[in-house]
Amino acid sequence: MESKAYRKVINSWAMYDWANSAFATTIMAAVLPIYYSTIAEPVLTKTQSTAYWGYTNSIALLLVALLSPILGAMADYKGRKKHYLTYFALVGIAATALMFFLTTGDWLLASLLFVLGNIGFAGANVFYDSLLPHIAKKDDIDQISTRGYALGYLGGGLLLAINLGMIMFGPDHLTELMTRLSLASVALWWLIFSIPLWRNVPEPPRHILPYEEGKNPIRSGFKRLVETFQKVQKYSELFKFLIAFWLYNDGIGTIIKMATKYGDEIGIGQTDLIGALLLVQFVGIPFAFAFGWLAKKIGTKNSIYLSLGVYTLISIGGYFMTSSIHFWALAFAVALVQGGSQALSRSLYGRMVPKAQSAEFFSFYSVSGKFAGIFGPLVFGLVSQAMGNSRLGIVSLVIFFISGGLLLTRVDEEKGIRVAKEADARAITK
């Protein structure tokens, strides 16, 4: 039975998914990609606009991937996971608020603000995810992780629905203003609903390694990274999982980021594009919870395999997509598996992470996802330019789902958990 205090901490942690998922829906997936085309295409072609949006995503993810390992190690050493989360979140919130000022021709400024916003969004998530193994009981971690994703779907979906109403049902001459207000609304939503986490989730105890006592935090951060890479065999199961995640998350991330631009390129209207993404948000809520239940019945890894099989079919279906009905059908299929695949990946990884180095290891987790995200949109953009359309780009994602799933079969979860516990036993708690 969950105590009242435990529920308060868990729910406050999960509410941050509600808060920042507005960025994922309105900024990353729906409104900004379409608005980017509107402000870019007076000076760029449709194909160039799609390609440049892919390059913008790749640059943003590369910068996060380079920053997060050092910051994660420093956060562990200094015991300031919540502080680092706050710094990054405020950067993302500020960049998002400034998107209100984007107008026709400002595609380069839009790219810059998106890069800064994505750094804030993804960087804060490193430290948000790293709190999970500290606040969750071992038997609850799958369900708590999926609870966060479900709340994220609901929160992101609600604001997207509001924004869609503003854009689609307002006067035609105010469409651009409503779009800009929608972008700015994400910053306010993100700020307000982050407050429960800031107030109620405790900073985890500071765990330092024996050689770190009294050392400089930056130097110790680098030393932690070196130590981790030198002892990679010790965490062999964890790193095998990271490579598997790198592969299949490349495909998942590319579908999330490029679906709207791809649909826009083949002629699907704005109402159908945003409406289908709204469908993903609300259909995704029960299925995120369902995957938490499914993991108890058939196991976490088996549930992930199921989601990757569905994603493979989605990629193949995307190649043949020609109408809005097809886009809605594929969006529904994404809704079935998106939250579950990501939530269970997070919780599976969390089981194999030493708590004394949770921010550092979750930064590696983030780096794996971000480097994957770099290559997915980049390949998508290059294929789009080379072929004159993006159909081959969408079907090429199949290889990432298949290869990632095959490598996941080689991960020994129980061994990974045992090694993490042994590492924690040697840490010093302060």
pLDDT in tens, 246-286: 888 888 877 776 777 677 777 787 778 878 878 887 888 88
207 assigned to some structural domain:
no
206 assigned to some structural domain:
no
Say what percent of the chain tops pLDDT 70.
83
Identify the CATH number of the domain in which residue 86 sits: 1.20.1250.20
pLDDT in tens, 153-178: 889 989 998 998 888 888 888 889 99
Is the pTM of the predicted complex or chain greater than 0.95? no
pLDDT at 192 over 50: yes
Tally of domains in the chain:
1
209 assigned to some structural domain:
no
Whole-number mean pLDDT of the chain?
A: 82
pLDDT in tens, 14-46: 999 999 999 988 998 788 988 988 888 778 877
Mean predicted confidence (pLDDT) in 91-104:
96
Which residues face 429 on adjacent strands?
Answer: 207
371 assigned to some structural domain:
yes
Mean predicted confidence (pLDDT) in 225-238:
68
210 assigned to some structural domain:
no
65 assigned to some structural domain:
yes
pLDDT at 368 over 70: no
Report the C-alpha gap between 276 and 288 in whole angstroms.
18
If one compares 210 and 383, the residue with the highest pLDDT of the two is 383
What share of residues in the chain are helix, strand, coil (percent, to 5)? Answer: 85, 0, 15
User: The domain containing residue 303 runs over which residues?
Assistant: 4-201+216-429
Question: Which residues does 224 contact at the CB level (< 8 Å), separation at least 6?
Answer: 73, 76, 77, 209, 212, 357, 360
**pLDDT range class, residue 223, cuts 50, 70, 90:** low
pLDDT in tens, 62-86: 787 777 767 766 777 677 789 889 9
Question: Which residues does 414 contact at the CB level (< 8 Å), separation at least 6?
Answer: none
230 assigned to some structural domain:
yes
37 assigned to some structural domain:
yes
Say what percent of the chain tops pLDDT 90.
25
pLDDT in tens, 394-412: 777 788 899 999 999 999 9
Report the C-alpha gap between 130 and 105 in whole angstroms.
39
Report the C-alpha gap between 158 and 181 in whole angstroms.
15
**pLDDT range class, residue 201, cuts 50, 70, 90:** very high
